[in-house]
């Protein structure tokens, strides 16, 4: 931005100089024309006075021409039927000493000439003509302006160079002043960024010191410190609430689920409707237990208290084991493993992750796929290697996720309109998966697929056993 402004100012100054040069040229030409008209009037009056005293001959014209010729202005008389009459005064010699000057001025031309400028040697000359009354001839004027075009161009370039140097110096000075003046603000920004990278519940542990800070920044620092304290208090209250909810709900939910299972096993002679009610109660209790666990894990991940146990894991073996373990689940028979061209290479790949947490993430993704896709459609798992990364894909045939919402779905409690219309949910599962995957050094994203549906992709750096 600064250099663009500098270039614009320099260009404007160059255009200003060029415009000023054109104006000066036009003004000089106009002054030459006024000089010619005034001199011609004076010569005409002098000749008229001489005519009143007697006949006019060449000597009279010569005397008049000598009187009006100056060191920088040559006046001569051009007559169509006679040779031009030039003054003999010493002031005219410098014009005659320059061979070819009179030819360049159009000494042999007849008739009137409009004011014009021309260069000869290193100087600029103006020439013009005015008629004498009574067909006595045409007065020709040649003025030495004394302006060297090369010197003038050199001066313009020097002015431009000086201007550019001045602007660069001022620009550098302003840049230094602004950098020096904003250094406290930059330090404040770095401190705020460092605080922003801390876990959510620890933002107020180290506040920004106001000592040594400019007085203009101290109110901002005080406000930021107060805000960080309020944020930490809010997060602590949130954590306390989540822990309380987890503690208060986990035991009753487990009791409800166990009781429902026990009733389902021991009671005989129940109607089909009553048995479905008990089974539904058990399922809802189990679902609520899982939701409580996910909320607890999500809250812990926000504060950095979710502990992970890293080890070398074979994704292929984990996926195959997950398929076997899921056979007993309602959606277990829909789960498929897709062999791709790289299957032979993927079987021995390893990643450094928390195996239980990775299994939890995949379980959540598979459960989501089962929830939002038709019951007669398969859920596909596949593995790929790509440029040092291992990719784990979970694909379904559900309604899909619009591109505009593919980042928002990983925010806590966010649900798309399409999925909300199909089946109610908490909006916690994907947020928790995204948090855990990030903590394990991986990435999660929604990738395009040819058929309708959604493909969730987990991406982890491939790790050798030596690392």
Per-residue pLDDT of the chain (467 residues; tens, 9 = 90+): 555 666 666 666 666 666 666 776 777 778 888 888 888 888 888 888 888 887 878 888 888 888 888 888 888 888 877 888 888 888 888 888 777 888 888 776 666 678 888 888 778 888 888 888 888 888 888 888 876 666 666 777 777 778 778 878 887 888 888 887 777 777 777 777 776 666 555 666 667 777 777 777 778 878 878 887 887 787 777 777 777 777 677 777 777 777 877 777 777 767 778 777 877 787 777 777 777 777 777 777 776 677 888 999 999 999 998 888 888 787 788 888 887 655 557 888 899 999 988 988 998 899 888 888 888 888 999 998 888 899 999 998 888 888 888 888 888 777 776 666 555 566 677 888 898 899 899 999 998 877 788 899 999 999 876 55
Q: Is there a domain that residue 210 lies in?
A: no
* Predicted TM-score (pTM) of this structure: 0.52
> What pLDDT is recorded for position 430?
85
Residue 345: domain span:
311-461
> What pLDDT is recorded for position 267?
73
Three-state secondary-structure class, residue 412: coil
Same domain, 158 and 135: no
Q: Is there a domain that residue 12 lies in?
A: yes
- Helix 355-371 and helix 315-325, axial crossing angle in degrees, nearest 10: 50
Q: What is the CATH number of the domain that holds 362?
A: 3.30.565.10
Contact indicator for 303, 436 with CB cutoff of 8 Å: no
Task: Provide CB contacts within 8 A for 296, sequence distance 6+.
Answer: 242, 243, 246
Domain boundary among 283, 303, 323: 303
Same domain, 170 and 141: no
Same domain, 297 and 325: no
d(CA 39, CA 378): 107
Same domain, 319 and 425: yes
Q: Is there a domain that residue 97 lies in?
A: yes
Same domain, 181 and 142: no
d(CA 263, CA 403): 47
> What pLDDT is recorded for position 353?
92
Sheet holding 138-144, edge to edge: 73-78, 138-144, 123-131, 116-120
Q: Is there a domain that residue 263 lies in?
A: yes
Same domain, 349 and 395: yes
The domain tally of the chain equals: 4
> What pLDDT is recorded for position 460?
94
Same domain, 320 and 297: no
Domain boundary among 125, 147, 169: 147
Contact indicator for 350, 464 with CB cutoff of 8 Å: yes
Same domain, 445 and 334: yes
Same domain, 25 and 93: yes
The dihedral region occupied by 396, where left means phi > 0, alpha psi between -120 and 50, and beta the remainder, is beta
β-strand 123-131 against 116-120: which pairing, if any? antiparallel
Q: Is there a domain that residue 205 lies in?
A: no
CA distances from 374 to 161, 356, 393, 424 (A): 75, 28, 19, 15
Q: Is there a domain that residue 208 lies in?
A: no
Of the candidates 314, 422, 440, the one whose C-alpha atom is nearest the C-alpha of residue 369 is 422
Same domain, 46 and 160: no
Same domain, 137 and 101: yes
Q: What is the CATH number of the domain that holds 234?
A: 1.10.287
Domain boundary among 303, 332, 349: 303
Q: Is there a domain that residue 209 lies in?
A: no
Q: Is there a domain that residue 286 lies in?
A: yes
> What pLDDT is recorded for position 161?
78
Same domain, 280 and 384: no
């Amino acid at each position: 931005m600064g250099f663009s402004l500098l270039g614009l100012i320099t260009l404007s100054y160059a255009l200003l100089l060029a415009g000023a040069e054109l104006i000066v040229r036009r003004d000089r030409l106009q002054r030459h024309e006024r000089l010619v008209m005034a001199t011609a009037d004076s010569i005409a009056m002098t000749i008229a006075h001489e005519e009143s005293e007697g006949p006019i001959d060449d000597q009279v014209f010569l005397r008049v021409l000598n009187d009006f010729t100056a060191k920088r202005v040559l006046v001569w008389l051009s007559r169509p039927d006679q040779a031009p009459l030039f003054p003999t005064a010493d002031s005219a010699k410098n014009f005659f000493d320059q061979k070819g000057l009179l030819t360049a001025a159009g000494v042999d031309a007849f008739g009137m000439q409009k004011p014009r400028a021309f260069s000869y040697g290193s100087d600029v000359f103006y020439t013009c003509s005015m008629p004498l009354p009574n067909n006595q001839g045409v007065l020709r004027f040649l003025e030495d302006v004394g302006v060297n075009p090369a010197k003038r161009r050199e001066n313009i370039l020097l002015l431009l160079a000086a201007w550019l140097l001045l602007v660069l110096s001022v620009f550098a000075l302003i840049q230094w002043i602004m950098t020096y003046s904003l250094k406290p603000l930059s330090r404040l920004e770095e401190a705020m960024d460092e605080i922003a990278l801390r876990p959510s519940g620890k933002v107020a542990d180290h506040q920004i010191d106001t000592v040594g800070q400019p007085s203009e920044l101290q109110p901002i620092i005080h406000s930021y410190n107060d805000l960080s304290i309020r944020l930490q208090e809010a997060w602590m209250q949130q954590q306390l609430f989540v822990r309380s909810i987890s503690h208060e709900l986990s035991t009753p939910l487990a009791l409800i689920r166990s009781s429902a299972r026990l009733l389902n096993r021991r009671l005989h002679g129940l109607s089909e409707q009553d048995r479905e009610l008990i089974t539904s109660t058990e399922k809802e209790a189990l679902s609520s237990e899982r939701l409580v666990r996910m909320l607890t894990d999500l809250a812990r991940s926000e504060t950095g208290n979710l502990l992970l146990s890293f080890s070398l894991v074979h994704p292929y073996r984990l996926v195959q084991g997950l398929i076997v373990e899921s056979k007993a689940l309602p959606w277990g028979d829909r789960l498929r493993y897709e062999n791709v061209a790289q299957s032979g290479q993927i079987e021995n790949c390893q990643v450094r992750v928390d195996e239980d947490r990775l299994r939890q993430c995949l379980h959540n993704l598979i459960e989501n796929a089962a929830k939002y896709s038709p019951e007669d459609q398969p859920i596909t798992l596949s593995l790929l290697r790509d440029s040092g990364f291992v990719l784990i894909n979970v694909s379904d045939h559900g309604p899909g996720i619009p591109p505009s919402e593919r980042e928002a779905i990983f925010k806590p409690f966010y649900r798309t309109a399409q999925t909300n219309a199909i089946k109610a949910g908490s909006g916690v599962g994907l947020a928790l998966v995204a948090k855990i995957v990030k903590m394990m050094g991986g990435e999660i994203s929604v990738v395009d697929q040819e058929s309708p549906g959604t493909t969730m992709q987990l991406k982890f750096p491939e790790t050798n056993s030596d690392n």
